[in-house]
Amino acid sequence: KLVHLQEWQLHRTSLQKIPQFVGRFHNLVVLDLSRNSIESVPKEIGQLTSLQELLLSYNRIKSVPKEISNCISLERLELAVNRSICDLPPQLSDLKKLSHIDLCMNQFTTIPSALLNMPNLEWLDMGGNKLQELPDAIDRMENLHTLWLQRNEINSLPETIANMKNLSTLVLSNNRLKDIPVCMKHMTNLRFVNFRDNPLELEVTLPPCENTEEEEQQEMFGIEFMHMYIQESLKKAGNLESCPSAASPIINAN
């Protein structure tokens, strides 16, 4: 019987509407209707309390219903490349298990408050939107380890970004950044960053590599670049003051 259905995948069918009877599939764990022509999500979606993955990327959805906040088991939400979504209902912050959200290629001009109130969020992609700045409260996403912000219009970073102690991947390529905050030197958990294609004011050249293998591994606008840029920035300012909002770096005594 369909009511016992646990996974429903339907791609490239030009489906324009999610049927209201979807709410009857109480055992549904994965609903993947990506790559269709869906324009709206029915409020009945909120009846799917067992749903863990809702995948609706590559559609034509314009808004997200607050009823999704009733999908209490939801862990993964993908709404990439809908091209029109510009906000999320604040009720989504009630989803305590939600850890992975993909919102790339939409019309967001700011990070929605719903996301800032999701302490368990670990992975977020907001690339290809219209973000101009990041909120000071960005560090409330304290468990975030991966943040994709490529291809936006971000012109500065808040000092509070240095408080994101679990952040290990930060992608900021193709933005409008003119500077890298000195505070970021304290982000010891960062393993990968990308500042490529930003109008950064200082010219920084990485030291030449000793061999080809090292050269291949060297990320031109990555971690090493970031630290050298900050060093140059401090030299130019003529002081070595760090940001008061960031914690002091931990020095391990051997």
CB 156 within 8 A of CB 238: no
Sequence-ordered list of residues with C-beta below 8 angstroms from that of 240, at least 6 positions apart, any chain: 234
What separation in angstroms does the CA of 246 have from each of 39, 123, 140?
Answer: 44, 23, 14
Give pLDDT, residue 250. Answer: 34
Q: d(Cα 140, Cα 115) in Å, to the nearest integer?
A: 9
Write the CA distances from 175 to 73, 136, 153, 223, 225, integer angstroms. 35, 18, 5, 17, 17
- Local confidence pLDDT in tens for the 254 residues of the chain: 677 899 999 999 999 999 999 999 999 999 999 999 999 999 999 999 999 999 999 999 999 999 999 999 999 999 999 999 999 999 999 999 999 999 999 999 999 999 999 989 999 999 999 999 999 999 999 999 999 999 999 999 999 999 999 999 999 999 999 999 999 999 999 999 999 999 999 988 887 776 666 555 567 789 999 999 999 999 988 855 545 444 433 333 33
Could you tell me which residues are beta bridge partners of residue 169? Answer: 146, 192
Record the tokens describing residue 182, joined without a space. Answer: 């000195």
Q: What is the pLDDT of residue 47?
A: 98
Structure tokens that stand for 95 in this block:
């989803």
Interatomic CA distance for residues 139 and 142, integer angstroms: 6
Q: Please report the pLDDT score of residue 213 as a whole number.
A: 61
What pTM does this model have?
Answer: 0.90
| Domains of the chain, earliest start first | 1-100+114-123 (3.80.10.10), 131-238 (3.80.10.10)
pLDDT, position 160: 98
First to last CA, the chain: 64
CA distance 190 to 165: 8
